[in-house]
Structure 1
Amino acid sequence: MNRLAFALALAAALPAAQAVEYGTVRPERSAIGFAYQQMGVRMDGRFRKFTAQLSFDPARPAAARATIDVELASIDTGSAEGDQEVAGKPWFDSRNFPTARFVSTGVKALGDNRYEVAGQLTIKGRTQAVVVPASFTAQGKDGMFAGSLSIRRGDFAIGEGAWAKFDIVANDVRIDFKIAASGK
């Protein structure tokens, strides 16, 4: 009977011993994009350069941390002219505000590998509290975080002057992300 108890205790301990903490971001497999409406037509784009630091253990999601910095001048709207326009002062003003930053403040597990990540999003020197719905898929020592967040560009002064109205470019912008990470 002692052998059976030992075997059960060992089996119960094995998953904990195999726990993986994901923290090494794989930029070549990661992406941050966005979508919005311009004159009623859906437009998509992405950011070519960003960095992310994270620490995530699926067994302890409340202890997770994430910081993501996006280089705003790395925007890809699909045209060089559009990229220059959006990096300019009325939109991102990337000369004075080169990065957008998200810093997590808490993670809530929802079940089925779904989470709510609370944090602070700063764009153009304006910070807003946000809650980001996200999922996590583990594939051995690799994992993928994915989700989307809707923001209002007016809350961050994205589109000033003649662009401050929402008749040509809608106020709502959806940010989509996939962050690949390796575990240790």
Structure 2
Amino acid sequence: QITPGGLLDVWNQAHPDNRVQVGDEIVEVNNVWGSVAAFVAAFKTSTSLRIRLWRRAYSILLDKSDGSQLGLHVSMAVQNALVVTGIVSRGLVAEWNMRHPEAQVQLGDEIVEINGQRGSASMLYQQCTENKPLRMKLWRRRLTQSKPKGQYYFSEDATKMLEQTYWPRFAGLFLA
């Protein structure tokens, strides 16, 4: 809950394009990562706060109407989601990431809904192959920092994360 008249409410009114939302998780306060106790101590002892948030669910809109390529590698290792395993530097997803640095698609993110429809990984994959606008809802399992490296965007710990989370059921597909 965001308290009306509280600091976060004031922030949201001043920054409508960068609002804090219910469900966002505080992961850092004044360069301190860790426990809730550490965050509370920072709240009590600081006159100004620098807070880093993690938002698990987010949505993107990609228009494939003209036959553009998503430029995305995915896995069907999760029953009701497509797991992002690679992002090609040329494609709609890479363009989205350049235009929306605050809401970038990252390795390990799970596509859980397309155009309001949820279902099996194969159904979601089929939706991605159609030439039409795609409103995707994604879910982020872990916080990762993606960096461009050659043709793909790789997360610093994505290989480890994907192996731990999805191996040995890992099977990659490319959404051209």
TM-score by length of 1: 0.22
More helix by share: 2
